[in-house]
Protein backbone atom coordinates (compact mmCIF):
# COMPACT_ATOMS: atom_id res chain seq x y z
CA UNK A 1 0.00 0.00 0.00
CA UNK A 2 1.27 3.45 -0.87
CA UNK A 3 0.46 6.80 0.72
CA UNK A 4 0.30 9.50 -1.96
CA UNK A 5 -0.46 13.17 -1.49
CA UNK A 6 -1.50 16.16 -3.55
CA UNK A 7 0.69 19.22 -3.98
CA UNK A 8 -1.63 21.02 -1.58
CA UNK A 9 -0.75 18.58 1.20
CA UNK A 10 2.97 18.81 0.30
CA UNK A 11 3.35 22.57 0.24
CA UNK A 12 0.47 24.69 1.46
CA UNK A 13 -1.20 25.43 4.76
CA UNK A 14 -4.89 25.95 4.11
CA UNK A 15 -6.63 29.01 5.40
CA UNK A 16 -8.88 28.81 8.42
CA UNK A 17 -12.02 30.97 8.68
CA UNK A 18 -11.74 33.72 11.32
CA UNK A 19 -15.40 33.60 12.31
CA UNK A 20 -18.50 31.48 11.97
CA UNK A 21 -20.26 31.87 8.64
CA UNK A 22 -17.14 32.93 6.72
CA UNK A 23 -16.76 30.56 3.76
CA UNK A 24 -13.39 29.32 2.54
CA UNK A 25 -12.90 27.30 -0.63
CA UNK A 26 -10.20 24.83 -1.61
CA UNK A 27 -9.88 23.49 -5.14
CA UNK A 28 -7.64 20.44 -5.56
CA UNK A 29 -6.51 18.98 -8.87
CA UNK A 30 -4.73 15.64 -8.46
CA UNK A 31 -3.03 14.16 -11.54
CA UNK A 32 -2.27 10.44 -11.59
CA UNK A 33 1.22 11.06 -12.86
CA UNK A 34 4.03 10.04 -12.56
CA UNK A 35 2.84 7.32 -10.17
CA UNK A 36 -0.12 5.02 -10.76
CA UNK A 37 -2.86 4.78 -8.12
CA UNK A 38 -3.80 1.23 -7.20
CA UNK A 39 -6.75 -0.13 -5.24
CA UNK A 40 -4.59 -0.55 -2.13
CA UNK A 41 -3.30 3.05 -2.21
CA UNK A 42 -4.62 6.09 -0.36
CA UNK A 43 -4.29 9.62 -1.71
CA UNK A 44 -4.51 12.58 0.66
CA UNK A 45 -5.96 15.61 -1.15
CA UNK A 46 -6.40 18.35 1.45
CA UNK A 47 -7.48 18.94 5.00
CA UNK A 48 -10.55 20.17 6.79
CA UNK A 49 -9.24 22.50 9.52
CA UNK A 50 -10.21 22.03 13.15
CA UNK A 51 -13.47 23.81 14.04
CA UNK A 52 -14.59 23.74 10.39
CA UNK A 53 -17.75 22.29 8.87
CA UNK A 54 -18.19 21.40 5.21
CA UNK A 55 -20.94 23.39 3.50
CA UNK A 56 -20.38 22.15 -0.06
CA UNK A 57 -18.27 19.48 -1.75
CA UNK A 58 -17.98 18.44 -5.40
CA UNK A 59 -15.84 15.81 -7.11
CA UNK A 60 -15.08 15.01 -10.75
CA UNK A 61 -12.68 12.53 -12.30
CA UNK A 62 -11.36 12.78 -15.81
CA UNK A 63 -10.05 9.94 -18.02
CA UNK A 64 -10.07 7.33 -15.23
CA UNK A 65 -10.37 3.67 -16.19
CA UNK A 66 -13.87 2.36 -15.37
CA UNK A 67 -13.92 2.55 -11.61
CA UNK A 68 -15.64 3.87 -8.53
CA UNK A 69 -14.07 6.47 -6.27
CA UNK A 70 -14.46 6.80 -2.51
CA UNK A 71 -13.78 10.18 -0.91
CA UNK A 72 -13.81 10.80 2.81
CA UNK A 73 -11.90 11.50 5.98
CA UNK A 74 -8.59 9.74 6.48
CA UNK A 75 -7.54 7.94 9.62
CA UNK A 76 -4.46 9.18 11.47
CA UNK A 77 -2.92 12.62 11.65
CA UNK A 78 -3.19 14.97 8.68
CA UNK A 79 -0.07 14.78 6.49
CA UNK A 80 1.31 11.68 8.21
CA UNK A 81 2.78 9.44 5.45
CA UNK A 82 1.88 6.22 7.28
CA UNK A 83 0.85 3.66 4.65
CA UNK A 84 -1.62 2.10 7.10
CA UNK A 85 -3.94 5.11 6.94
CA UNK A 86 -7.39 4.52 5.49
CA UNK A 87 -9.97 6.63 3.64
CA UNK A 88 -13.62 6.70 4.65
CA UNK A 89 -16.68 7.17 2.49
CA UNK A 90 -18.32 10.07 4.32
CA UNK A 91 -18.38 12.31 1.23
CA UNK A 92 -18.60 9.94 -1.75
CA UNK A 93 -19.17 6.20 -1.59
CA UNK A 94 -18.59 4.26 -4.84
CA UNK A 95 -18.99 7.39 -6.97
CA UNK A 96 -18.78 6.43 -10.66
CA UNK A 97 -15.59 7.68 -12.32
CA UNK A 98 -15.75 10.34 -15.02
CA UNK A 99 -18.99 11.79 -13.67
CA UNK A 100 -19.41 14.94 -11.58
CA UNK A 101 -21.10 14.65 -8.20
CA UNK A 102 -22.07 16.88 -5.29
CA UNK A 103 -22.57 15.84 -1.68
CA UNK A 104 -26.18 16.27 -0.61
CA UNK A 105 -27.18 18.66 2.14
CA UNK A 106 -28.53 15.85 4.34
CA UNK A 107 -25.14 14.10 4.21
CA UNK A 108 -23.23 17.29 5.04
CA UNK A 109 -25.58 18.05 7.94
CA UNK A 110 -24.69 14.69 9.46
CA UNK A 111 -20.92 15.31 9.45
CA UNK A 112 -19.85 16.84 12.75
CA UNK A 113 -16.92 19.25 12.98
CA UNK A 114 -13.82 18.17 14.92
CA UNK A 115 -13.15 21.02 17.31
CA UNK A 116 -9.53 20.02 18.02
CA UNK A 117 -7.93 18.41 14.97
CA UNK A 118 -7.40 19.02 11.29
CA UNK A 119 -8.74 16.07 9.30
CA UNK A 120 -7.24 14.81 6.08
CA UNK A 121 -9.55 14.21 3.13
CA UNK A 122 -8.48 11.57 0.66
CA UNK A 123 -9.62 9.14 -2.01
CA UNK A 124 -9.32 5.53 -3.07
CA UNK A 125 -10.20 3.77 -6.33
CA UNK A 126 -11.89 0.45 -7.00
CA UNK A 127 -9.79 -0.33 -10.11
CA UNK A 128 -6.05 0.27 -10.55
CA UNK A 129 -5.37 3.51 -12.43
CA UNK A 130 -2.27 3.65 -14.61
CA UNK A 131 -0.32 6.88 -14.68
CA UNK A 132 -1.25 9.48 -17.27
CA UNK A 133 -0.99 13.25 -17.55
CA UNK A 134 -4.70 13.56 -18.44
CA UNK A 135 -5.99 11.35 -15.58
CA UNK A 136 -7.21 13.75 -12.94
CA UNK A 137 -9.41 14.03 -9.89
CA UNK A 138 -10.85 17.45 -9.04
CA UNK A 139 -12.23 18.24 -5.58
CA UNK A 140 -13.88 21.49 -4.55
CA UNK A 141 -14.41 21.88 -0.83
CA UNK A 142 -16.18 24.81 0.84
CA UNK A 143 -16.18 25.08 4.60
CA UNK A 144 -16.90 27.47 7.44
CA UNK A 145 -15.95 27.79 11.08
CA UNK A 146 -18.46 26.34 13.52
CA UNK A 147 -18.02 28.85 16.34
If one counts every other C-beta atom within 10 angstroms of the C-beta of residue 30, the result is 24
Q: How far apart are CA 31 and CA 109, in angstroms?
A: 30
Kindly compute the dihedral angle of the four CA atoms of residues 45, 30, 6, 111, in this order, to the nearest 10 degrees: 0
Q: What is the pLDDT of residue 83?
A: 82
Quickly list H helices, the chain: 7-11, 105-109
Q: How far apart are CA 95 and CA 64, in angstroms?
A: 12
Q: How far apart are CA 105 and CA 34, in angstroms?
A: 36
Cα–Cα nearest to 61, from 124, 142, 143:
124
pLDDT tens-place values along the chain, 147 residues long: 688 888 778 766 666 677 778 899 999 999 999 999 999 999 999 999 999 999 999 999 999 999 999 999 999 999 898 889 999 999 999 999 999 999 999 999 999 999 999 999 999 999 999 999 999 999 999 999 887
With contact defined as beta carbons under 8 Å apart, do 27 and 120 qualify?
no
Cα–Cα nearest to 74, from 111, 101, 39, 47:
47
Amino acid sequence: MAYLKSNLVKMVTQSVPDRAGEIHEVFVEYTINPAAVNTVDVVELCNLPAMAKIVECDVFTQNFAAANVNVGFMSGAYGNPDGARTVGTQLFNAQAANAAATVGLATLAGIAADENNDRGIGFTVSVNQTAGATKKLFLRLRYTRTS
